[in-house]
Structure 1
Amino acid sequence: MSDLRDTLRVSAAELGFDVCRFASASEPWSAGERLQHFVEAGRHGEMGWMETTLERRAHPTAMWDGARTAVVLGMNYGPASDPLPEMADRSAGYISVYARGDDYHEVIKGRLKTLAGQLASRLDAEVKVFVDTAPLMEKPLAQRAGLGWQGKHTNLLSRDQGNWLFLGVILTAAEIEPDPAETEHCGSCTACLDACPTNAFPAPFQLDARRCLSYLTIEHAGPWPVEFRALTGSRIYGCDDCLAVCPWNKFAQASRETRLAARDISVGPRLADLAALDDPTFRILFSKSPIKRIGRDRFVRNVLYAIGNSGDPRLVASAERLLDDASPLVRGAAVWALSRLMGAEAFAGLRDAKLAAETDEGVQSEWALLPLREKVAERSEVG
């Protein structure tokens, strides 16, 4: 079996993977119990699929009772430099590092299938391939295989790759000798917890997704709770703060995978340009990108929240034009953005002109309730 493992590691490296390790897929673990507590507390937010697939997610054998070994692979997507200083330009949007190139699902899945085929032919055993699209808890498997550990921010953290590692898993019915598991090496460090803009970590190693900017920008379908809008800054897709500040990144290397390289549109895109996107242009611009998945309306909603945080009066025209958008979600976000950029008198005049013609109750609420919400927020900040 050691010969097989070495052969698979060589093949994995040739396919572009940076690490390939093995773990038992059948031994008991506590990850399922932790996931159950997460869902029972409602911390999964609108991600209803986590609740409906909870039993199948509890353990690899709950999804496939024939699973005996997990081949866990990692592909480095590390940036060439710290991405966080990019947020200093408030008239540009910030896109998470993981989403700047091609969709990693598409980059990894075909290569996983190639490797799985080699494994199946060598062992004459059934195999199944997973890239973050099935009810399989990949991060606990990765820790069990020794790729890294789940840090206090709940993401996988590697001593060799830092925080920047995509995961793929091959489950097989064959018994293969496992690699040693990794232990936790966070120590007393709380850099990731301290960096979170929205205090999304109720405790170390725990996440409340409802407060996470990655969840809000990507998974949340409707208008955001007002309390989080100003906190997003210029982040329009995902958030890297807890990842980027980790001291273990000093050992990370820039990704060597060309398909994961950042596109020009994904680094410092101008908010005015993004606010002007219609649906066909959005689809073309973000073809083969994970950003395409959330759709134009949700993306422009995020852009408008960033416009509201920009402090740039030149963006008033971009937001005002979207008050007549076909999407109520976009119109409501435009209202909030303008309330932040315009003077009180000018905004009140605009409200008087637009509110009478607005037919959507949600957007009406944005116009009507915004002043009260803002006053409450101001009092909280003073207090």
Structure 2
Amino acid sequence: MNEDTGEGKVSKHTDDTAVANKGGSERSFDAFTAKSRVILDLYRVMESVALSDAPVLLTGENGSGKNFFARKLHLKSKRKNAPFVRADCIAFLQEGVFENRIKNYERMLATADGGTLFFDGIEKLPLNLQTVLLDRMAPYSKSSGTVSDKTAAFNVRIIASAECDLEASVKDGRFLIDLYHRLNTFPINIPPLRERKEDIEPLAEFFLKKFGRKTKKQFSGFSSSAAKALHDYYWPGNVRELKNTVEYACILGEEPFIQDWDLQFSKSFSGTACEQTASEEKIPSLTEDRTLKTALNRFKRAYICKILDETSWNQTKAGKILGIQRTYISRLLNELHVREDRDRK
């Protein structure tokens, strides 16, 4: 649910991104799809941290799973039946006058009372708002018996996330040292996906089942070339990019297996399907099969896509440019597993 008061946006969640078993209850951290030792160890630490009310600072690259872990911490805590409120810190910069920003912060405290308040992208807060946050954190727990003159004390657990090294920001004068130490009670770093490649396969299978259900398709898995492509890719967008890539593949792909040509890397969800295909053809190592036939098919697919995009998918016009009949284009599109994507133009 999004609550918009004109002073910024606050997202209030319960378990919308939690992983649930068949019975619908939340699963323990180590039951989620992970094989890497670093993540399994992280799950065990978070099981203990979840039982505390102390602030937690989650760090990691964009898309690495900070939002997911923040919600899991909430779901494993004694506050799981109370609100989980996500505050997008960059939204504070768009709220106009300073007084409105303070009002919005106090509104978030009230909304999260009894639950968890998650500051997403804490490094984006300007220094004057960091001062306000530090001041308001003093009475964050009713059990402290402290009440500020500016705001009532609320019973909330504070979790924050950052993509950058906050300690370096402190040294550069861009982040308050007192606020850093207040938030850094339990520091947890989430490594990028490229440093835990053992997790790519189980995560991809998890997303395949999820989006297979949504698209009403029964996929058995990934072809060997698609699995290798997933493993070899750098994943600059981390788990979020993997999720988007598998979702897109489920929309494009045909049962029973996702093929390497269904995977759209780097430009997932941007540009036309054929523009993405042409970009991928520059990286022939994404497939195990390097025979001349496969290479020619990949080239034909990219070139036909380029001409079709130029003609707005008018197969008659494309046929004239290519010097072939329109019916032959239709047959080639079938053989090469190409589908039109007008909506992305």
Given the two structures, how large is their TM-score scaled by the length of structure 1?
0.29
Which of structures 1 and 2 has the bigger CA Rg?
A: 2
Given the two structures, how large is their TM-score scaled by the length of structure 2?
0.31
Which of the pair has the greater relative contact order for Cα pairs under 8 Å at 6+ separation?
1
